Chain A
Amino acid sequence: MWLLVIFCLLVGMIIGFQMPVLLPLVYAKYMSIAVLAALDAVFGGIRAYMEDGFDNTIFISGFVVNTLLAAGLAYLGDRLGVELYLAAVVVFGVRLFQNLGIIRRYLLKKY
């Protein structure tokens, strides 16, 4: 399981670094929020997996929808002049740490 996650992450990063894609500066901000949302979704998925409550549909849909929503929200905030992306950063940041804490406890219990 862990090997799979790390392996896929590495492969993805290698592909990403080799890709000749460079985001325009304007979209870099939205991409960063999207990355945060994606990270949150993955950690949430791992946690659910360890809790045996993993649901494929929820996981995939959560990943896609959260990512797009976070980027969209940041964009909307920019249009409206409200720093909405801060909301996304706070929410995903808090959830990320919660998930990480739960995963850590599971791992401690296990070994």
Chain B
Amino acid sequence: MRSKGAQVSIAVVCLVLGIMLAVQFKTTQSLNTDLVPARVEELTQKLNTVTNERDTLGEEVLSLREKLKNVREDNQAMADLQEELQKANMVAGLVSLEGPGVIVTLNDSTRNLQAGENSNALIIHDSDLLMVVNELKASGAEAISINGERLTSMSEIRCAGTLILVNWAKIGPPFEIKAIGNPDMLESGLLIKNGFVESLKYLGIQVHIQKSEEVEIPAYSGRMDFTFAKPLQYKEKAE
């Protein structure tokens, strides 16, 4: 049955097969030069981060150029310096801040001590406060205070007998930790599953998290002395 129909159908099928083969060739080729899918995901994430970073840096370049121009024009320079100073003060914790955030209240456990249980398990330790503060920082808190003591880059949270030292001030329970930042982020950072707050609650320690549109954080009131550290002089000229 070597009809014309047979030849036509063979021709058509061969044509389709050819197209399929070519597409497959191309795909396999790109696959070989490509990376493994898992790595692709990782790289995509990295790319996103780097892209964001580049955008931020780009904006910074623009504002720095603007400032450079202002310096040349002199009368704007003072205002720019003021702005820089304000920013540095905010970073150092030397100005009071306000903004949306959360207020976390911690208090010792009211649970009755079981036989054979150490009373240490029911009270709040300096490490507990450190963990909560760390969690807040990781969730993007911009300023934190504990019982009115502003946390600066040099603040300590340290056990001192029955009390806890923060900025060399003695504080005791109940502890009120205030943090400025995205309230939802801060709260979810604290309440993360198997997170630290959950284990505190498991121990019976009273944790109360309150989101607030207006959190006020006082300035650091102590002295800030640099006895040993001094700024490093740049050897190379920055471009």
Contacts and interface: CB of A to CB of B under 8 A. Distances in A.
Interface of A: 1, 4-5, 8-17, 19, 21-23, 25, 28, 31-32, 34-35, 38-39, 41-42, 45-46, 49, 52-56, 59-60, 63
Contacts of B57: none
B24 A42 contact: no
B173 interface: no
A16 B23 contact: yes
A15 B18 CA distance: 8
Contacts of A34: 20
A5 B10 contact: yes
B120 interface: no
Contacts of B19: 12-13, 15-16, 19
B231 interface: no
Nearest to B19: A16
B14 interface: yes
B7 A12 contact: no
B20 to A, nearest CB: 5
18 contacts: A8-B10, A8-B18, A9-B15, A12-B14, A12-B16, A12-B19, A14-B22, A15-B18, A16-B23, A17-B25, A17-B26, A22-B26, A31-B23, A38-B20, A42-B14, A42-B17, A54-B2, A60-B13
Contacts of B13: 38, 41-42, 45, 59-60, 63
Interface of B: 1-3, 5-7, 9-28, 30-31, 34, 37
A8 B15 contact: yes
A10 B10 contact: no
A28 B22 CA distance: 12
Contact of B22 (A4, A13, A45, A53): A13
Given A12-B16, A31-B24, A35-B24, 4 more contacts: A4-B7, A16-B21, A19-B19, A19-B22
Given A4-B10, A42-B14, A49-B2, A12 B23 contact: no
Contact of B34 (A12, A25, A31): A25
A8 B7 CA distance: 11
B18 A9 contact: yes
Contact of A12 (B6, B9, B18, B30): B18
A109 to B, nearest CB: 17
B7 A16 contact: no
Nearest to A53: B1
A15 B21 CA distance: 11
A25 B14 contact: no
A5 B7 CA distance: 9
A8 B27 CA distance: 21
Contacts of B27: 22-23, 25, 28, 31
A6 B13 CA distance: 12
A1 B11 CA distance: 9
Nearest to A5: B14
A16 B22 contact: yes
A81 B158 CA distance: 54
B110 to A, nearest CB: 51
A32 to B, nearest CB: 6
Which 3 residue pairs spanning A and B have beta carbons closest together?
A12-B18, A16-B22, A8-B14
A44 to B, nearest CB: 11
